[in-house]
């Protein structure tokens, strides 16, 4: 052998080819014969294929000590999200909500139940804790319940954060997650004035949206109100992208991804995030009624992604959000801030959530577990604990130590490891410990299948598809 290997992972991609990836996500496909010649040290270092391998730092004819600094630089870039520490801070002003979603992941309260409203004292301490984060960029995202049911507290937190930030001088931004139905013109103007973006939920056409997300008042037409409020907000903002939307897949959504995507296009959205059901709250409690095998979601996702690609080929610019995140990780050297695709896991160190009572959890999913009396992932309380105690404490250190895909069983050897992430909260919820068991892990099955499908599309090298993929990244 006259070349040396650098760290890489590999897997049979199909009957005739192997996929190789390195520590920073660079990849190459090799036919079976070339692959075995390569690993046996029989490949000609002057061949074109070896030049491709060497260019991706999978093997080298140079001194390894000269290559390591380059790989280290790329690795630091991929992990650059860690430099800022916690950037996303989700805040729950209230658990009140006027919806009755069939998959609700938290124990929502009725609109007239004020037992779960955040106090001003807690709100001030939440803001104080958030602004102690070392990150130069802070995003405060209002969750619920539906935050619009206590809009006065939303206003209070925004203005308190802006006031405290006069001294901290961080780049501060806001997002409110709401079903839109209670948003008034006055609220919309206030949100625009304070540059608070709006995130909502749309599960598809009227019949499907109203099945998945009925209002507590059965006499009201949720979808019709949603469409009217969406138009009003866009008119006030003069920006069609001021509102983004997420969908959640219940069993009623299966077989209807084309209808769902068409509804997003009809309503003027330019992207969709095809999202599976999370196993928390009602979604876990009533899974026999609304859940489905993960394999069914995967097949629907592939059909949905292929349909979106066809829309782009026909001239309709439209992005599938999860694929776009994965493509950025596959095709570029840059990091993505999406918490679910981080290693070490983004829980606590990329995002955290502050409940109405001041309790702090490593993720929204951890808060959902707490609703059912599982407080394992509670970091502390803003009224009793300092930032350093919660975000540099023994619990968070333990969680993160158990959530690096580079050293988790099976993940450490998986060819798709550079593009995936750890989820200790979901592992604990579904499998009883933070590490989990990959052969029966639904998140693992889903991510591997989707990444494989995206690689297949890349490998097919259809110029229009590749052009579409780059347009999503750019």
Distance CA 308, CA 418 (A): 25
Q: What is the model's pLDDT at position 287?
A: 65
User: Of 410, 351, 357, 348, whose CA–CA distance to 376 is shortest?
Assistant: 348
Q: Which residues contact 465 (CB under 8 A, 6 or more apart)?
A: 309, 313, 457
Task: Say if CB 107 and CB 95 are below 8 A apart.
Answer: yes
Whether pLDDT at 65 is above 70: yes
**pLDDT tens-digit readout, 292-316:** 999 999 999 999 999 999 999 999 9
Question: Worst-scoring range by mean pLDDT, 110-124, 146-160, 244-258, 280-294?
Answer: 280-294
Distance CA 276, CA 251 (A): 10
Question: Worst-scoring range by mean pLDDT, 240-244, 311-315, 369-373?
Answer: 369-373
Q: Kindly report the backbone phi and psi dihedral angles of residue 312, in degrees, each rounded to the nearest multiple of 5, phi listed first.
A: -65, -40
User: Of 265, 295, 331, whose CA–CA distance to 465 is shortest?
Assistant: 331
Mean local confidence (pLDDT), 83-102: 93
Q: What is the model's pLDDT at position 102?
A: 83
Looking at per-residue pLDDT, the higher value among 289 and 34 belongs to 34
DSSP labels for 409-473? TTGGG-TTGGG----HHHHHHHHSSSS--GGG-HHHHHHHHHHHHHHHHHHHT-HHHHHHHHHHH
Distance CA 382, CA 19 (A): 48
Q: Which residues contact 369 (CB under 8 A, 6 or more apart)?
A: 280, 375, 376, 377, 425, 428, 429
Task: Say if CB 94 and CB 120 are below 8 A apart.
Answer: no
**pLDDT tens-digit readout, 380-412:** 999 999 999 999 999 999 999 999 999 999 999
Question: Worst-scoring range by mean pLDDT, 84-93, 109-118, 152-161, 258-267?
Answer: 109-118
Task: Say if CB 353 and CB 363 are below 8 A apart.
Answer: yes
Q: Alpha helix (H) ranges present in 79-221?
A: 81-84, 120-130, 151-168, 185-193, 206-212
Rounded to the nearest 5 degrees, what angle is found at the Cα of 152, between the Cα atoms of 147 and 153?
65
Determine the distance from the C-alpha atom of residue 185 to the mean position of all C-alpha atoms in its chain, rounded to a whole number. 30
User: What are the structural domain ranges in the chain?
Assistant: 4-78, 85-378
Identify which of 109-113, 147-151, 285-289, 421-425 has the greatest average pLDDT.
147-151
189 in helix, strand or coil? helix
Task: Say if CB 355 and CB 390 are below 8 A apart.
Answer: no
Give residue for tokens 């959504």. 253
Distance CA 258, CA 255 (A): 8
CB-hemisphere CA count at 13 Å for 299? 6
Tokens at residue 174, please? Answer: 């806001």
Looking at the domain 85-378, which fold is it?
A: TIM Barrel (3.20.20)
Mean local confidence (pLDDT), 112-135: 95
Say what the alpha-carbon torsion angle 334, 340, 344, 348 is, to the nearest 10 degrees. 110
Distance CA 91, CA 382 (A): 12
Determine the distance from the C-alpha atom of residue 106 to the mean position of all C-alpha atoms in its chain, rounded to a whole number. 18
């Amino acid at each position: 052998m006259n070349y040396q290997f650098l760290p890489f992972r590999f897997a049979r991609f199909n009957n005739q080819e192997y996929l190789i990836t390195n520590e920073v996500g660079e990849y190459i496909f090799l036919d079976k014969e070339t692959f075995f010649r390569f690993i046996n040290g029989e490949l000609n270092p002057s061949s074109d294929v070896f030049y491709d391998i060497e260019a991706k730092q999978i093997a080298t004819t140079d001194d390894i000590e000269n290559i390591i600094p380059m790989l280290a630089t790329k690795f630091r870039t991929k992990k650059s999200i860690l430099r800022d520490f916690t950037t996303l801070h989700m805040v729950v002003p209230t658990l009140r909500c006027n919806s009755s979603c069939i998959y609700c992941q938290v124990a929502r309260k009725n609109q007239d139940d004020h037992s779960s409203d955040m106090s001003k004292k807690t709100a001030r301490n939440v803001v104080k804790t958030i602004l102690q984060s070392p990150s130069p960029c802070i995003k405060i995202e209002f969750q619920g319940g539906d935050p619009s049911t206590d809009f006065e507290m939303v206003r209070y937190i925004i203005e308190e954060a802006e006031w405290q930030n006069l001294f901290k001088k961080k780049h501060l931004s806001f997002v409110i997650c709401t079903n839109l139905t209670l948003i008034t013109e006055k609220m919309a103007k206030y949100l625009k004035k304070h540059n608070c973006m709006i995130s909502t939920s749309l599960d598809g056409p009227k019949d499907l949206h109203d099945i998945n997300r009925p209002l507590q008042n059965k006499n009201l037409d949720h979808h019709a109100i949603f469409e009217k409020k969406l138009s009003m907000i866009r008119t006030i903002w003069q920006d069609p992208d001021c509102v983004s939307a997420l969908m959640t897949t219940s069993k009623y959504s299966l077989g209807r991804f084309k209808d769902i995507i068409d509804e997003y296009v009809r309503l003027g959205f330019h992207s969709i995030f095809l999202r599976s059901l999370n196993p928390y709250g009602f979604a876990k409690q009533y899974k026999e009624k609304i859940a489905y095998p993960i394999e069914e979601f995967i097949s629907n996702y592939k059909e949905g992604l292929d349909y979106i690609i066809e829309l782009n080929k026909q001239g309709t610019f439209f992005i599938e959000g999860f694929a776009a995140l994965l493509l950025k990780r596959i095709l570029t050297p840059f990091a993505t801030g999406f918490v679910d695709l981080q290693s070490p896991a983004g829980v606590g160190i990329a995002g955290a959530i502050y409940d109405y009572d001041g309790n702090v959890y490593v993720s929204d999913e951890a808060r959902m577990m707490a609703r059912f009396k599982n407080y394992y992932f509670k970091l502390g309380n803003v009224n009793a604990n300092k930032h350093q105690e919660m975000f540099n404490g023994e619990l968070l250190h333990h969680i993160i130590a158990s959530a690096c895909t580079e050293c988790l069983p099976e993940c450490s050897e998986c060819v798709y490891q550079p593009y995936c992430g750890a989820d200790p909260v979901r592992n604990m919820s579904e499998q009883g410990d933070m590490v989990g068991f990959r052969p029966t892990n639904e998140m693992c099955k889903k991510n591997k299948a989707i990444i494989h499908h995206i690689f297949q599309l890349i490998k097919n090298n259809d110029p229009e598809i590749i052009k579409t993929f780059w347009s999503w990244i750019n």
